[in-house]
Amino acid sequence: MAELKKVETSEAKHAVEIASVVIFIYLIWVIFERIQQYMLYANIGSLADMWARFVEYFLIHILPIIEILGVIVVILSTIGIIYNLRKLNKIVAEEKLMYGHDEDILGLGVDETFVNEKWEKVQKNINSLNQSDWKLAIIEADVMLDDLLKASGYHGETLGEMLKSVEKSDFVTIESAWEAHKIRNQIAHNGGGFDLTDREAKRVVALYESVFKEFKII
């Protein structure tokens, strides 16, 4: 079963991680160098004198460096947190758009009783006795497909362009999506002049259904 494309890893997060590692290595190097200089040039007396001098040297020469680097790490971390929160808010918006409800985006467990309201509307129209409702059901299902691809990270000005960019290995039901979308286009372009039977309408909606089940949004 294909899965939704993952959102690209935040560049800011990588920058913070790399900067933290560089700062840590630099800090260790500075401390080692300072201690080495102290041991080479300090006039060491008793053990107590040595310890006192070391503490004094640490407070005067090393601690300020640690404090400065600490401030830098805090600033970089804050920037990374803010950036990632914005990305998370974007993901939340896309999830709500795709699922039509407050889905458990943190992976703490999916509500097995949830109902996709958009799909329920499609089902209501396809089970109508009016041909106009069947056409509306197909158009609404196509809108769901468009939302699904956008939320999955595909790009394009039209649904057709997004479908062209799909890798078959990531989208098992891609042919069903194409076939259903072509019928939708005929309905949109021909309007009332397009004759649609009850059997054909339900077949097209079933094509959409196979796509939505693959991506587990119904």
Q: In 100-164, which residue ranges form alpha helices assigned H by DSSP?
A: 117-126, 131-151, 159-164
Residue 18 token pair: 């790399």
Q: Which residue has the higher pLDDT, 94 or 147?
A: 147
% of the chain residues with pLDDT over 90: 37
Render pLDDT for 128-168 as a digit per residue (tens, 0 to 9): 999 999 999 999 999 999 999 998 888 899 999 999 999 88
Provide the pLDDT for residue 107.
42
Letter for the amino acid at 174? I
For the question of whether the overall pTM of this predicted structure is more than 0.75, the answer is no
Beta-carbon count within 10 A of 69 CB: 16
Listed in sequence order, the residues at least 6 apart from 187 whose beta carbon sits closer than 8 Å to its beta carbon are: 135, 138, 139, 194, 196
Give me the residue spans of the domains in the chain: 11-99, 117-214
